[in-house]
Amino acid sequence: MQTASSALSQFEGENVISVETYRKSGKPVRTPVWFLKEDDKLVVHTGGNSGKVKRIKVNSKVRVAPSKFRGEPKGDYIDARAELVNDPETVSKYYSLIYKKYGFVGSLTKFVQRFSRNKDEDVLVFIWPEKI
């Protein structure tokens, strides 16, 4: 049986992942996102009213793959489960870690988001690979 850490090894050194969520109809929607890999999970920061959050509320099954900036997969998708986390302390911790990973571009993105983003709640998506 493959461990979570070995299932996530293909994400080492990557900057973008493609997260595949599912509409109510079952149709997949792939979204490229910045992420943080921590131990046995991947962590994504997003707005609480985003489409991916709405889809995950209905169906926590997701698939993830390393990807290029525009979302083209660079590896195989793996089956995973997503959990939404909106605890302010946890969100703040990971928000800082994720944007720190991306250096100047991350800092610039955080600055721009303060002015252009809807004022919806910040949410984290924890993604755990399925056991094989």
* Parent domain of 13: 4-129
pLDDT value for 78: 96
Measured in degrees and rounded to the nearest 5, phi and psi for residue 68 equal -80, 170
Identify whether the C-beta of residue 31 lies closer than 8 Å to the C-beta of residue 71.
yes
pLDDT value for 99: 77
Q: Give the domain CATH number at 55.
A: 2.30.110.10
pLDDT value for 71: 87
**Predicted confidence pLDDT, tens digits, the chain (132 residues):** 455 567 899 999 999 999 999 999 999 999 999 899 998 999 998 888 889 999 999 999 999 999 998 889 999 999 999 999 999 999 889 888 887 887 766 555 655 555 555 556 889 999 999 975
**Alpha carbon 110 to chain centroid, angstroms:** 16
pLDDT value for 70: 87
What does pTM read for this prediction? 0.84
Number of domains present in the structure of the chain: 1
